[in-house]
Chain A
Amino acid sequence: MADPMHQFEIQQVLELPAVAGFDLSITNSALWMIIAAASVTLFFAAASAKAAVVPGRLQSVGEMLYELIHNLTDSIIGHEGKKYFPFVFTLFAFILAMNLLGMVPYFFTSTSQLAVTATLGLLVIAVVIAVGFARNGLGFFKLFVPSGVPFFVLPLVVVIEVISFLVRPVTLALRLFGNMVGGHVVLKVFGGFVVSLGALGALGIVGALVTLTGTVAITALEFMVAFLQAFVFAVLACVYLNDVVNLHSH
């Protein structure tokens, strides 16, 4: 059976000179991130090119995605959510494009690289900290001191709150990474079953057909996971932003 981890190997596509010790070569991961960004841009340009009051098919899909995230920022952050909508929507569209592109056979899944998801996670938390300090100044630290906690357990609660804040980018990165890697490994392993069972003769072919059905079902599930993980990333970005935007009511 083919190695299920082979699909995540990084290969150099275009060699570029190193700048200040950093290798700036375009790898297959970077290439597919560029393709994802380009396809998002092209999709929304095409969806809004012939904007009509009664939307066509393409425009409907674009509007559905827009409304999904708009409702999210509106319901979680409140009426100030509009300011953060572009950031959340960009994150959502970019991750969704990377996840969905990865579902096409022989295409590379950029979100299966921990370096990519960790960068996205750190970006979210950096924006949260920047917004927190910009809006509240040093009052940002009130985030770690929940109100209504008895005085003598406060030191413990503050430590737990600080740790839970610092773990956020880690969980953001690992969730996306783990889901994409896990899903693709399962698909590959089941695909391997089909081939190795089919080589066993007549009874094996019956078994292979059952496994093939399973693989089709798992592929459908993975499409849902690809969408859901992008959505969950957007939801969590909103929740973390809401913590610092509406700090007074925390």
Chain B
Amino acid sequence: MDPLAAKYIGAGLAMLGMIGAGIGLGTMFGQYLNGALRNPSASAGERPMLFLGMALTEALGIFAFVVALLILFAA
């Protein structure tokens, strides 16, 4: 196989890691809405925790993105 083609395929495959981040974010925001609609008065107080969870989950997806960038542009 052409090494350049393998490089692009590899970068694409590396982005599959985003699937997990997507599932995680969907679950998290879904659960937050679930709780927030049951008890709207408590929702504002939990919003920082929502964003904290979002940041931690998203970071793992970003790792996949960084690996893809490394494959494409470094080395």
Task: Enumerate chain A interface residues (CB-CB to B < 8 A).
Answer: 5, 72, 75-76, 171, 174-175, 177-179, 181-182, 228, 231-232, 235-236, 239
Contact = CB atoms under 8 A, between A and B. Distances in A.
B48 A235 contact: yes
Describe B's contact surface by its main secondary structure: helix
Given A175-B59, A182-B65, A232 B51 contact: yes
B55 A235 contact: yes
A235 B51 contact: yes
Interface in B44-75: 45, 48, 51-52, 54-56, 58-59, 62-63, 65-66, 69, 73
A175 B62 contact: yes
Contact of A179 (B51, B62, B73): B62
Contacts of B59: 171, 174-175
B45 to A, nearest CB: 8
B48 A75 contact: yes
Contact of A232 (B45, B55, B69): B55
A239 B55 CA distance: 12
B17 to A, nearest CB: 12
Describe A's contact surface by its main secondary structure: helix
A228 B48 contact: no
Contact of B54 (A5, A75, A76, A232): A232
26 contacts: A5-B73, A72-B48, A75-B48, A76-B48, A171-B56, A171-B59, A174-B59, A174-B62, A175-B58, A175-B59, A177-B62, A177-B66, A178-B62, A178-B63, A179-B58, A181-B65, A182-B62, A182-B65, A231-B51, A232-B51, A232-B52, A232-B55, A235-B48, A235-B51, A235-B55, A239-B52
B52 A236 contact: yes
A28 B59 CA distance: 27
B48 A181 contact: no
Nearest to A76: B48
Nearest to B58: A175
A171 B60 CA distance: 8
Contacts of A235: 48, 51-52, 55
Nearest to B62: A178
B33 to A, nearest CB: 17
Contacts of B58: 175, 179
B70 to A, nearest CB: 11
Contacts of A177: 62, 66
Contacts of B73: 5
A182 B65 CA distance: 8
Most A CB atoms within 10 A — which of B45, B48, B63, B65? B48
A219 B69 CA distance: 22
Contacts of B54: 232
A228 B29 CA distance: 15
A75 B73 CA distance: 42
A38 B62 CA distance: 30
Contact of A236 (B45, B55, B69): B55
Nearest to B54: A232
A26 B18 CA distance: 36
